[in-house]
Amino acid sequence: MVTGDEAGVSKEGSPECSPVDLGRLQKEVVVEVYRAPGPGGQRKNRKETAVRLKHIPTGLTVVASERRSQALNREIAFERLQQRLAELYRPRKRRVRTKPPAGAVGAQRDEKKRRSQRKRSRDRVDVPAELD
């Protein structure tokens, strides 16, 4: 049974135009069928049961060749494509900036003091005329 969220309808009742909608996907996909590779007994290599879906707008390609039925492989391939598109279009979380730990700030400050001390030690020292 398909719930409102799966059918592309939000909980408020307004229809969404999501890229994962099955009806829209079927129009945007090129379906290729071919003979499934590998061992499979008497029937697997005789019929073209494997399905490859190419999603034109994104360039994603999905393959299903587990079942002996082309219809089942087609369903599996569409499910995989929907999952990949949902993952692709999922909004990314914004990074929450955090303060650096107190130990790290202290280490940076100490390193800066050491560096400035080293640079100060490079200053020219006036040599008394007696030593020349």
Q: Note whether residue 127 is domain-resident.
A: no
Buried residues in 6-21 as b, exposed as e (16+ CB within 10 A): eebeeeeeeeeeebbb
Q: Which residues contact 4 (CB under 8 A, 6 or more apart)?
A: 10, 11, 13
| pLDDT value of residue 43 | 62
Say if pTM beats, i.e. exceeds, 0.85: no
| pLDDT value of residue 56 | 93
Q: Note whether residue 38 is domain-resident.
A: yes
Q: Note whether residue 101 is domain-resident.
A: no
> Which domain, by its residues, includes 30?
22-89
| pLDDT value of residue 81 | 95
Q: Note whether residue 5 is domain-resident.
A: no
Count structural domains, the chain: 1
Q: Note whether residue 47 is domain-resident.
A: yes
Burial class (CB in 10 A: 0-12, 13-18, 19+), 67: middle
Q: Note whether residue 81 is domain-resident.
A: yes
Low-confidence ranges of the chain (pLDDT < 70): 1-19, 40-45, 125, 129, 131-132
| pLDDT value of residue 131 | 66
CATH number at residue 72: 3.30.160.20
Q: Note whether residue 77 is domain-resident.
A: yes
Q: Note whether residue 118 is domain-resident.
A: no
